[in-house]
Amino acid sequence: MELELKQQGLLICVSGPSGVGKGTVIAAAKELCRNLVHSVSVTTRAPRLGEIEGVSYYFRSKTNFEQMLADGEILEHDCYCEHYYGTPLRPIEEKMRAGIDVIMDVTVPGSLTTIRNYPDAISIFLLPPSLTELRRRLVGRATESPEVVEKRMAKSTDEIAEAGKFKYILVNHEVRTTAQLILNIIEAEKHRTERQKGIEEIILNR
């Protein structure tokens, strides 16, 4: 008979420079783990090809976004390449209380804000194999102008310099391998002593 120890869901922050593959890795991790849900962010940028409202992002106007901020509905937010990105707070709290693990795809400043607000969050920084590969991935998306690609590349140097502030650093060579490593980290975190409070009493009373 398995032990029944009710645990709150974990909050996992995945960050890294634009083009490193955060969204693709998170999608692969969700395919491998049914108890993992993606926190859908709010953004003021236009949808890219194939992105779906409420699944990829909540696409909102700048005015609507600023109202959400004023109402305290955003856990963290950042302005990236002239667009706002933010994380709605209530859905995360509801899922975690239900024991569901929530994974976030957030900008580096947004992750650092989340870590300050939730010190128990599992923070993971994804690195590209090289800056050459990062540029190739950005260009390969074919969703942005050369000027925007250059802005993202310039910003990536500062973002990578923040990697040491995260609990874990992974180099994203291959999507499914990286996704499995993230799931391994989550599983190990669930077995930390501070998350196993009460297990001794359960064992002693069996």
140 annotated as a binding-site residue:
no
Residue 99: strand pairing partners: none
Helix axes 131-141, 146-160, angle to 10 degrees: 140
Q: What is the Cα Rg of the chain in Å?
A: 18
37 is in an annotated binding site: no
22 is in an annotated binding site: yes
Tell me whether residue 23 is annotated as binding.
yes
Closest by CA to 98, choosing from 190, 8, 191, 198, is 8
21 among annotated binding-site residues: yes
Number of Cα atoms under 13 Å in the Cβ half of residue 167: 20
Point out the annotated binding site for ATP: 16-23
Point out the annotated binding site: 16-23
